[in-house]
Amino acid sequence: RSRVRNMVSPEKLLYKQPSVLVGRTDVVSVTPWLAPIVWEGTFDPVLVDNIYKPMNLTVATTVFAIGKYVRFLQDFLETAEKHFMVGFHVRYYVFTDRPHDVPSVNLSQGRHLSVIQVPGSNRWQEISARRMEIIQTTIERQIRREADYIFCLDVDSKFHARWGSESLGRLVAVIHPGYYEQTRDRFPYERRPASTAYIPMDEGDYYYGGAMIGGFVEDVYTLTKVCRTRFEEDAGNSIEAAWQEESHLNRYLLDNKPSKVLSPEYLWQDFKAKTKEVKVIRFSGVIKNYADVRPN
Ligand code: UDP
Ligand code: MN
């Protein structure tokens, strides 16, 4: 599947003249390797939607709801219907060990949900780790033929505002809301050289959040495959990276630069007060009682 075409200007659409001189000055909106960092005010939502819509794309969205995390599905799906890729074809893939507890949510036209049964686990670290493997195998079996782009998201989250076609790219990562004001030596990367996720103190670009990975299906496929292999290699050496797949994701993205970076607007945390540079919170992790939802 490769129906991703050039960006063709929509006919008869009038939009505000882009400026070379006036724009966001309080934040950086491009990485040193020239990938956009997507902030409110750096894109015209109507224009980008009108460019992407004629491509007739399908966006896959994977979400894991294992054990008690099924309780987050309803809000996740209901808010996604309001804000996530509205007007596009969306296919949700819900991975759960409790298929009967998946709520029935009314989906808009062009949107579809499949439930895929996966084993439960007594260790949340393992659930977190197995996401890469399950996404990889589901891309092989199914998603590769059914979608153009994919976003893999944490279920303990809600959408609050538009998350649209401005987020599409070859390899898309999000800046973690907790560390973007810190220097790289303070990032919680894996610091033990024995792990394949190791990042030395004087390396690293941003600290990316593990709650979202996205991009072309094939690029995310390669990412999940590499991270899974490295995770298993570490396990063979009895080592588990500090933040499991988030650590492996950060190592992968240091070597394979994302083509688009989403600002923390696209991954906030409900316990964190909004900062002045964040004009809109689009997606955030809800406050949860770990003792209550995790198996151990
Ligand atoms: N998860 C799950 N069941 C669990 C633990 C985790 O389904 O018992 C999935 C779920 O999709 C969750 C993701 O793994 O959003 C990441 O785990 P969690 O949200 O607990 O990590 P955090 O965001 O708190 O670091
Ligand atoms: Mn989470």
Mean model confidence pLDDT for the chain: 95
Contact 127, 66 (CB under 8 A): yes
For residue 4, what pLDDT is reported? 60
In the Cβ-directed half-sphere of 272, how many Cα atoms lie within 13 Å? 17
What is the tens place of the pLDDT at every residue in 95-109? 999 999 999 999 999
Q: Which pLDDT score is estimated for 128?
A: 78
pLDDT single digits (tens) 206-216: 999 999 999 99
Q: Whole-angstrom Cα distance, residue 266 to residue 282?
A: 5
List the catalytic residue out of 40, 166, 246, 265. 246
Please give the Cα distance from 102 to 108 (Å, whole number): 17
Find the mean pLDDT for residues 162-172: 98
pLDDT in tens, 41-82: 999 999 999 999 999 999 999 999 999 999 999 999 999 999
Q: Name the residue of 125, 128, 288 whose CB sits within 8 Å of the most ligand 1 atoms, as the mutation to test its pocket.
A: 128
pLDDT exceeds cutoff 60 at 2: no
